[in-house]
Chains A and B, each alone.
Chain A
Amino acid sequence: MGQDLAVDSAPIGTATAGPHAERLSKLVTAQRATVDRDTGLDLYRDMTLGRRFEDKCAEMYYRGKMFGFVHLYNGQEAVSTGVIGAMKRQHDWFCSTYRDHVHALSAGVPAREVMSELFGKETGCSKGRGGSMHLFSKEHHLLGGFAFIAEGIPVALGSAFTSRYKRDALGDASSNAVTAAFFGDGTCNNGQFFECMNMAQLWKLPIIFVVENNKWAIGMAHDRATSDPEIWRKASSFGMAGEEVDGMDVLAVRAAAQRAVERARAGEGPTLLECLTYRFRGHSLADPDELRAEEEKQFWAKRDPLKALERDLTEAGLVNSDELRAIEKDIDSIVQDCVDFALSAPEPDPSELTRYIWAED
C-alpha cells in the first residue's frame, strides 16, 4: 500500500509533514501479505484490541486508576499485529520496551492480566510488581517490557541464542523458535543495538530486530539524533538482511515479518526490520505533546492502520463493515470486562512484599 497511500493523501503536503512522512511517501512496498477472510478478521481483531485497550488505559489513568509512566501504542498497531501475527505464539519469543501493552496482548497475554497489572493487582501478569513498563509472561513467551532504552535487545539476543544452543549444542532438531525484539528509533543510537546486531549476525541467531520508527524519542526528532535516518541500512554494516516497511500497513509488515521469520527458522540469521510508523499520542500520558507539528500529526492520522486494513478487507470483498463493527463491539466488551476484573481484583498481599526476590520464593 505504501506508495499508493501517499498518493491518496494529496491534501497534506509532505513538505510540511516532515522528513519522516516524506520517507513513507516515497516508500515502495515490495510485497504485501495475502490473507484469507479468517486471517484478515484475526488481524483486525488484534489491532482493534490494541487500540481500544490503550484508549481505555488513557481513561483509567486520567481517572486515577493507574499510575506511573504509561506509554500508549496508538498508531503503531500494524507493527505488533503484523510481526507477532506472523510468528507462533507460545513458541516464538517476544521482547518489548516500556511501550509494551499491545505487544503483550498480541502475544496472547489475556487482557485481564495486562489491565490488572496496570492497576497494580495480584492478578496482573507480573503480580502487580512490574507495572506498565514491566509486563512479563513466561507462559506467553513475553520476555518482558524493558524500561531502559536498548536493554531488552541483549536479553532478546539471549533467547535467540538459546534456540540455536538447543539445536546445535543439545541436538534438538526441532528447536526453531524465533525471537522478535521490538524497540524504537531512539534505541538505534545506543551501543547495545550495535553490539547485538554484530553478535546476532556473527552467530546467525534467529532474531528479528523490529524497529518501530515513530520519528520521536520523546521530544528528540529522529533526524536530529542520528546521522543516517534510514535505520534499515545499518544492517548492511553487519552483512545482515535489512528491510524498511510501511509500518502503518499491517499487510506489508506481515509480509516482511514472514520473510524474516523464514530466514531465521532456516538458520540464515537475523533481520533488521524498520517499520515507519507514528504514535498518535504523546510519548507517555504525562507528555502534553506540544512539540509535534499539527501537519505531521494529520499526515499520519490519515494513515490510521485500522482504517487501512478495513479498506483492504472490504475492498477485497473478504468482509463487510458490519462484521468489523461487530468485532469492535466484541472488543469493547472484552476491554470493559478486563477493567471490571482489574477493579475488583485483589491487591498483592503485604506479607508477600519480599517474595520473588529469590528463585526459591
Chain B
Amino acid sequence: MAGTLLFNALREAIDEEMGRDPHVCVMGEDVGHYGGSYKVTKDLAEKYGDLRVLDTPIAENGFTGMAVGAAMTGLRPIVEGMNMGFLLLAFNQISNNMGMLRYTSGGNFTIPTVVRGPGGVGRQLGAEHSQRLEAYFHAVPGIKIVACSTPTNAKGLMKAAIRDNNPVLFFEHVLLYNLTEELPEGDYTCALDQADLVQEGTDVTILTYSRMRHHCLKAVEQLEAEGVSVELIDLISLKPFDMETISRSIRKTNKVIVVEECMKTGGIGAELIALITEQCFDDLDARPVRLSSQDIPTPYNGSLENLTIIQPHQIVEAAQALVNKGI
C-alpha cells in the first residue's frame, strides 16, 4: 500500500503551510541543513531559505523566547524541540511569555506559535530523553496542548496548529514517526479541540492519547475476541479536554479507563479523572481506572523500561476486571 510515514505527514503539513503563508517559519536545532533530527523539516531550508527554516544555536531558552517576540510582531513561528525534554530549558519562555503574555498584556498581543517535537518513552533512551512534558505544561494558562498519533491526524493537526492564533504545544511520539498510512487527498485540517472516536463500543470507555492509542488497539483486539465491546477514544486535545465526546461515551458505557504514558502523579489522567468525577459521576457504574507510567525516572534497562510504562496486557486485564465486576 502506498502510504505516508508520519514524519513525512508532518513535513507535508509544514511545507504546505509555509507555501500558503510566508509568515510561517521554523526555528530550532538542526531543523535546516540537517533536516531535523527526525527529518520532519527535511529539504525545507533548501526550498524556503535559511531565514525561514532557521538553524539555531543550542540555546532553547533564547530561541523559544525569540519565537515569542517574532510572533508578537507578526510572524507565525514553529519551534522544534529536538527532543521535547530539552524544552524544560525553555519552561519560563513557554509559561510566562507564550502562555501568559496575551492575558497579562490585556489582549495587546497574540502569540501564534507552535512548539513541536518528539516526546514519550522511546527505546532505551534513558531518563532525560524519555519525558512526557504534556503533564508538566498542563497547568500553564493560555496554551493548547495536542498529541498526534497517526499520520492522518499528525498532518491535519499540524496544519490546524499552524493556523491557530494561540500557542500550541504539539506532541509527537518518538516511536510513531515511522507509522505509515494513506493520507486524505488535498488540503485538510483536524480540529485541535476534538477527541477522535477511534472505535465505538458499549461495555467500557478507554481514553488514551499518543503512542498508547496503539497499545490500546492491541488490547481492544483481544478484548473483542473475548466478547468485550470497547469504545476507544483518542483524546488528541490534552488541553482543553473534549469533555463532550468523553461524557457522551461514559453515558453509554458507564465505565472508564484512562491509559496514559505520563507518570501517574500530576498526570494527564489525574486531571481527566478529576473532571470525569465532577461531570460524569452519576453516569459511572464503577470507579474510574487509571493506567499510567510509574512515578520514576525512566530506566535505561529494556526490561525495566517496559515495566515502567503500561503494556497492552495490563489494559486487557484492567478492562476485564472492570467489565466482569459489574455494578
Contact = CB atoms under 8 A, between A and B. Distances in A.
Interface of A: 93, 95, 124-130, 134, 136-138, 143-144, 146, 148, 151, 153-166, 168-170, 191-192, 195-196, 198-199, 202, 355-361
Contacts of A168: 51
Given A192-B61, A192-B62, A199-B57, A158 B108 contact: no
20 contacts: A93-B73, A126-B105, A130-B105, A136-B104, A143-B73, A155-B69, A155-B72, A157-B62, A157-B65, A157-B69, A158-B69, A158-B71, A159-B70, A159-B73, A162-B75, A169-B51, A196-B65, A199-B57, A357-B103, A361-B107
A359 B57 contact: no
A154 B68 contact: yes
Interface of B: 22-23, 25, 49, 51-52, 56-57, 59, 61-75, 92-93, 96-97, 101-112, 141-142, 164-166
Contact of B65 (A127, A128, A155, A361): A155
A57 B112 CA distance: 35
A192 B56 contact: no
A196 B62 contact: yes
Given A151-B92, A359-B102, 16 more contacts: A126-B108, A134-B104, A143-B69, A148-B96, A154-B68, A158-B66, A158-B73, A163-B73, A165-B52, A165-B70, A166-B74, A169-B22, A195-B57, A356-B103, A357-B141, A359-B164
Contact of B70 (A128, A158, A191, A361): A158
Interface centre among B23, B72, B110 (most CB of A within 10 A): B72
Given A136-B108, A143-B72, A159-B72, A357 B102 contact: yes
Contact of A195 (B61, B68, B166): B61
Contacts of A126: 104-106, 108
A195 B141 CA distance: 27
Contacts, number: 155
A78 B111 CA distance: 32
A115 B69 CA distance: 25
What is the interface of chain A mostly: helix, strand, loop, or mixed?
A: mixed
Nearest to B56: A199
Given A154-B68, A154-B69, A169 B25 contact: yes
A161 B69 contact: yes
Contacts of B73: 93, 143, 158-159, 162-163
Contacts of A170: 22-23
Given A169-B52, A191-B61, A199-B56, A127 B107 contact: yes
Contacts of B51: 164-165, 168-169
Contact of A165 (B68, B75, B108): B75
A95 B56 CA distance: 22
Interface centre among B49, B52, B103 (most CB of A within 10 A): B103
A136 B97 CA distance: 12
B104 A129 contact: yes
B102 A356 contact: yes
A191 B57 CA distance: 13
B248 to A, nearest CB: 24
Contacts of A154: 61-66, 68-69, 93
A129 B103 contact: yes
Given A129-B105, A162-B75, A195-B59, A359 B165 contact: yes
A290 to B, nearest CB: 31
A129 B142 CA distance: 14
Contacts of A165: 25, 51-52, 70, 75
